[in-house]
Structure 1
Amino acid sequence: MVMTIPKYNDLFNPLLKAMHNLGSSASISEQEEEVAKILGLSDEDITKIQYRNCTVFSNRLAWARHYLKRYGLLNNSVRGIWALTPEGRKTENVSKAKVDRFVKKLGSKSEDSVDGALNNDKEPEEIAWQNVLLEKIKAVSPDAFERLCQRLLREAGFTQVEVTGKSGDGGIDGKGIIRIGGLLSFPIIFQCKRYQGSVSASVVRDFRGAMIGRAEKGLILTTGTFSPDAKKEAKRDGAPPVDLVDGQALAEKLRELRLGLVIKQKTIEDISVDDDFFRTL
């Protein structure tokens, strides 16, 4: 049975509870998994696409983060990790009406305009740039996407990164070596998937089957999302581990490495009267 995804302001308290459960900090994917568990949402609920690469659930949770950040309970790092502020760590529940009124006074979009934005496929600024970037990536050729993944892995510290892209090779698109601490290294194989929707568990299983005997770890990068079953399959006990990089994580990593993005810093002037100046006249 498909349930209705709660409105953005009905996600305020589940999100706060999730952040407390996760130790006061979490990535977006960790938040989504924990909130979905708290609300008892099904796989079908959380994978329903609303616009471009974004699900209804992800979009509304992004608005919830936006409001709680402006309310002073959340903040985020350049690496895409969100954390409770000191005030957030002391807060377990909020009044959604009070949060809405406070943020509205700051000049943010009102509750009605947010609902309208959701109905008209709009996103908060937090994810708008990500979706534009992912649409641009999905428009490039398969070879270009593989080269982008190769460049990203090299910039992230992998060595000997090669794109193989052989057909009938179990979905293996490339291989490389990751070095940890300058001392340990091990081979890794990767797969690049330009997806609009969710990557299924069967893709992870097939990829793992192809990697056995070739590498100790595998990595799947996609412009889409991973279904809950795919995430469970990637972490299945007793099976070789497969790391998953979804569209949001891919976009954040490209931002961190300054690949494909022009990032301009904004300077805000804080002006106050210099009392000492006038006392010395």
Structure 2
Amino acid sequence: MAKRKNSQAEFVKWFGPLLDALRDLGGSAKPREASDKIAEKLNLNDEKLNESLNSGQSRYYNQVAWARQYLAWEGLLDTSQHGIWALSQKGEKTYLDDNESRAIFLKWVDIHRKAKKNKSENEILEEQEENEPDAFQNTNPTDLLQVLQSVSPYGFERICQRLLRESGFERVVVTGQSHDGGIDGHGILEINPFVSFKVLFQCKRYKGTVSRSQVGDFRNAMIGRAEKGIIITTGTFSSDAVKEANRDGAPQIELVDGEKLVEMFKKVELGVKPKTVYEVDLSFFEPYMDK
């Protein structure tokens, strides 16, 4: 049991590297950018980056997201701007070693254990192992990504068609049922009144990881037919798939993973209804808890 507990707290080792990565990126970055900077600086191998949780999401990126959450609770990261990880004034001057990171981790696990009196420390860590930070704090039984993963493959293509239209594309057509070399549809994106171009898209209703070879197959199918391609998935992309999508000298392919897809639905308010939610700020109450 002790060995399992240490495994579940593996994300603690990313505390210091995340602060360092954000400093290297000018003090702020998008989640994927910050995570990739850590991987680059520490020379993490593909086996580590591509490991998945039971839920299908990337174990590494989930762990870095939890590192970010603990640093935010500690006041080392600024949470005021949604979708951006930024250092606070305190965080800019803070450098963490393993012992200091461990102390922050134990402090906030204990705070959450006291706040959730029906939860043991192990139960809290088990929740964190398989969930993203937002899900841990505000569990929603109707999770958007789970809903998208539950629709039919053709239904997902039609939903993506609607999303592209809401995002500014014109003449969006779904062709997926014709098995057109992996192309599920196409549309026109107008940059300005003088410039527009055709975009091909592929929809993958996945819980797992899209591989490099799948990105390469999609590019081969689109060569000579469009200058731009988009792969939309409810899953994730392997690090090799990301490299393949951005390979020099080849048509660029935009990758939309489950996390980005949810944000796009929220941005255009498609299939979601905005509402005000008050989240308990445990950092405010921390000084008043029993020591």
Q: One fold, TM greater than 0.5?
A: yes
Q: 1:258 aligns with which of 255, 269, 276?
A: 269
| Structure 2 counterpart of 1:100 | 105
Where structure 1 has 5 or more consecutive residues not aligned to the other structure, the ranges are 269-281
For 2:81 and 2:235, how far apart are their aligned partners in 1? Answer: 21
Aligned-residue offset at 1:124: 2.2
Retained in 2: the 8 A contact 1:163–1:174?
Answer: yes
After TM superposition, list the pairs within 5 Å mapping 1:108-187 onto structure 2: 114-118=124-128, 121-125=130-134, 132-181=143-192, 183-187=194-198
Q: Which amino acid aligns with 1:149?
A: C
Aligned-residue offset at 1:77: 6.3
Q: Deviation string for 1:49-72 (max 9, x for gaps)?
A: 213232222222221111111222
TM (norm. structure 2) is 0.79
Which stretch shows the higher mean deviation, 52-61 or 169-178? 52-61
Higher helix fraction: Structure 1 or Structure 2?
Answer: 2
Q: Deviation string for 1:54-108 (max 9, x for gaps)?
A: 2222222221111111222223466522222233333343621442365457657
| Structure 1 counterpart of 2:51 | 48
Same amino acid, percent of matched pairs: 46
Residue correspondences, number: 265
Which stretch shows the higher mean deviation, 168-177 or 238-247? 168-177
| Structure 2 counterpart of 1:276 | none
Where structure 2 has 5 or more consecutive residues not aligned to the other structure, the ranges are 1-6, 280-291
Aligned-residue offset at 1:149: 0.8
Q: Which amino acid aligns with 1:84?
A: L
Q: 2:206 aligns with which of 195, 209, 215?
A: 195
Q: Which amino acid aligns with 2:173?
A: E
TM (norm. structure 1) is 0.82
Which stretch shows the higher mean deviation, 148-157 or 46-55? 46-55
Q: 2:92 aligns with which of 89, 92, 97?
A: 89
Q: Quick one: structure 1 residues 253 and 201, their matched pair in 2 at CA, closer, same or farther if it must change by over 3 Å?
A: same
Q: What SS class does the counterpart of residue 176 from structure 2 fall into?
A: coil
Q: 1:11 aligns with which of 11, 14, 32?
A: 14
| Structure 1 counterpart of 2:228 | 217
Q: Which amino acid aligns with 2:125?
A: D
Retained in 2: the 8 A contact 1:5–1:56?
Answer: no
Q: Deviation string for 1:194-213 (max 9, x for gaps)?
A: 11211111111111111112
Aligned-residue offset at 1:126: 5.1
Retained in 1: the 8 A contact 2:236–2:257?
Answer: yes
Q: What SS class does the counterpart of residue 49 from structure 1 fall into?
A: coil
Retained in 1: the 8 A contact 2:28–2:84?
Answer: yes
Q: Which amino acid aligns with 1:173?
A: D
For 1:59 and 1:152, how far apart are their aligned partners in 2? Answer: 26
For 1:66 and 1:154, how far apart are their aligned partners in 2? Answer: 34
Q: 2:61 aligns with which of 58, 61, 66?
A: 58
| Structure 2 counterpart of 1:275 | none
Q: Which amino acid aligns with 1:172?
A: I
Aligned-residue offset at 1:175: 0.9
**1:37 lines up with 2:40 in the alignment:** yes
